[in-house]
A and B are shown apart, each in its own frame.
Chain A
């Protein structure tokens, strides 16, 4: 499902695609979270690259509605908790790079928002994470793209092509698909040239800044968004 490797200070996480997160597949979320935490804890890793081995970074998918009790317990543990997958990426002690080819469904865009740096292929597209994923973090989007652009993405539920993503600041670089891996390698090499402690201390500082802006508080609201999002669907289930 997920493989990891470490070479020359660079940890690489590979999956066929990250689409299972968009469908709220808990085992996949737990495995990805564990891979990120393990590489973050590895003293021989300065940068973590999230990469896919097949076509899309995160294939399309919609999560099924979740019952309120589950939202507050198991769903919370796997997708909303401070120790769950997205906060493990967002608050990693190492620099996280997303390497995006093809389509990013909702969860793919969330991984991009949670990562520090992103390289995208020209065929990459970025769907709004906010329509389907209660755990999506709007504050991260507003900080990354500026407030009104993030609002437009949320309200229109739109999908951004790579060229637009780079112009609004969602990704750092857009390159032809056959140059993607080499570009990511070069970017990672630039990061690994820095001292390990310097990287970790910078990430600690960055996390305080993110929380100062409300990123953590927005993550904490995920349960409330989830209950609201699925309230009508749960009511329908009960009535049915």
Chain B
């Protein structure tokens, strides 16, 4: 499998995603460690997550895999302003052709990192604090079997503000977890869920105060790891089969792919121009001020 990314981002991935195993009781920790970017995941970081989940999958001592983050947030989602080996970097998100590899990785490919999580034979737990946004929400938190969240967590499809709502709205998985109205709310409004609200809706298994979050996760993981290995593998195997018949393991989010790479409205193009000038944070602030997307069919396009 081709490895995408710059030499620097590939080299950084091994420290940006840490791996450790507590052999007793049998917990593997995959820790996102890029706190200066709210643990935004680069392509090499996502590739490393695939490798680490594979490692945990075949480690006979590992029964539970915990995903967690260092710093203020669990994870702000995918890094959206990176060079990752595009043939024409200035077109990084403008066409489906250029986005093919990126889309395959995150939305519908069988080799994508979210598939590594959702199809793992080991029990997976997401430990959420601070922001759990965009890909971290629908590709880690929603793909894990169990979720432990701090009461100050802010969970949701924040990317819908500038990329479009399709991922959060159309995902079979999210509709099954939250119910259809709540799934549509997360997608169409980009409003976050608090930890207690996510618990109320069914996403979060256990809630804890921020300073007791690690302890709560450890307690849940230890409880699971106490199950005999054969029984746990059996339960996960039948869970995967049942999810297959429910279609919740299907990775296809075609609408997400389309909404990410086709940006026909001029003021949506402004987002990327602004992002290049002042960074994604500044572009998000500017985005809040815009009055709405211009319909390109009205003949007002051509400003980009």
Contacts and interface: CB of A to CB of B under 8 A. Distances in A.
Contacts of B238: 130, 134, 138, 221, 225, 228
Interface stretch (B30-38, B186-194, B241-249, B252-260): B241-249
Nearest to A157: B227
A152 interface: yes
B51 to A, nearest CB: 25
A131 B173 contact: no
Does more than half of chain A's interface fall in helix, strand or loop, or is it mixed?
Answer: helix
8 contacts: A131-B235, A146-B176, A146-B178, A147-B202, A147-B248, A148-B146, A155-B239, A228-B234
Nearest to A169: B202
Given A138-B239, A214-B246, A228-B237, 19 more contacts: A138-B242, A139-B245, A142-B242, A146-B176, A146-B177, A146-B179, A148-B205, A151-B145, A152-B146, A155-B123, A155-B239, A157-B227, A214-B247, A221-B241, A221-B245, A225-B238, A225-B241, A229-B234, A232-B230
Interface string A198-227: 000000000000000110011001001100
A218 B223 contact: no
A149 interface: yes
Nearest to B141: A148
A145 interface: yes
Nearest to A221: B241
Interface in B109-165: 123, 145-147
B224 interface: yes
A229 B231 CA distance: 8
A228 B234 CA distance: 7
Contact of B202 (A149, A156, A217): A149
B36 to A, nearest CB: 31
B176 A142 contact: yes
Most chain A beta-carbon neighbours within 10 Å: one of B224, B230, B232, B238? B238
Q: Dominant SS at the B interface?
A: helix
A154 interface: yes
Given A130-B238, A156-B223, A146 B245 contact: no
A104 B214 CA distance: 33
Given A147-B176, A225-B241, A139 B230 contact: no
B62 interface: no
Which interface class (under 10, 10 to 19, 20 to 34, 35 or more) fits B?
20 to 34
Interface of A: 130-131, 134, 138-139, 142, 145-149, 151-152, 154-157, 168, 213-214, 217-218, 221, 224-225, 228-229, 232
Nearest to B237: A228
Given A131-B231, A138-B239, A147 B245 contact: no
A131, A145, A214 interface centre (most CB from chain B within 10 Å): A214
Contacts of B43: none
Contacts of A229: 234
For B176, B232, B237, the residue with the greatest tally of chain A CB atoms inside 10 Å of its CB is B176
Contacts of A130: 235, 238
Nearest to B142: A148
A218 B245 contact: yes
A151 B146 contact: yes
Between B123, B177, B203, B235, the greatest number of chain A beta carbons within 10 A of the residue's beta carbon is seen for B235
A151 B178 CA distance: 13
A146 B223 contact: no
A168 B247 CA distance: 22
A218 B244 CA distance: 9
